[in-house]
Amino acid sequence: MDHRPREEKCRYRREHRDGGCFRFLFRLFVVVVLGVLLLKFVLRDQFPIGALRDSVGVVRVDGPIYDSTAAAKALREMGKDKHVKAVVVRIDSPGGSVGASEEIYRGVVRLREKSKKPVIISMGNVAASGGYYIAVAGQEIFANAGTITGSIGVIATDFNIEEILKRVGVKPEIIKSGEHKDGGSPLREMTPEERHLIQDVIFDMYRQFMRTVLSARHKQIEKAMADHPADFVTILGPERTKKPGGAIEFDAFTTGTIAAQAGATTETETALRQMADGRVFSGEQALKLGLIDQIGTYYDAVERAGKLGGLGESPTIFERTAERSWPAMLGANARRFLQEVSGSGASVEYRSGAN
Looking at 181, 219, 223, 325, which residue is catalytic?
A: 181
**Is 181 tagged catalytic?**
yes
As separate numbers, helices (DSSP H) first and strands (DSSP E) second, the chain gives 13, 11
Looking at 55, 68, 97, 129, which residue is catalytic?
A: 129
Which residues have CB under 8 Å from 157's CB, separation 6+? 336, 340, 346, 347, 349
174 neighbors 187 (Cβ within 8 angstroms): yes
Three-state DSSP state, 127: strand
Long-range contacts for 249-252 (Cβ within 8 Å, ≥24 apart)?
249/153, 249/206, 249/273, 249/276, 249/277, 251/203, 252/203, 252/206, 252/207, 252/210
Three-state DSSP state, 138: coil
- Distances in Å between the Cα of 34 and the Cα atoms of 25, 27, 29, 37 are 14, 11, 9, 5
For the chain, give the number of residues: 355
Long-range contacts for 338-347 (Cβ within 8 Å, ≥24 apart)?
340/157, 340/158, 340/159, 340/186, 341/159, 341/161, 341/186, 343/182, 343/185, 343/186, 343/187, 345/158, 345/183, 345/184, 345/185, 346/156, 346/157, 346/158, 346/184, 346/198, 347/97, 347/156, 347/157, 347/158
**Is 171 tagged catalytic?**
no
Long-range contacts for 223-231 (Cβ within 8 Å, ≥24 apart)?
223/290, 224/287, 224/288, 224/289, 224/290, 225/267, 225/268, 225/271, 225/290, 228/288, 231/288, 231/289
* Residues annotated catalytic, as ranges: 129, 181
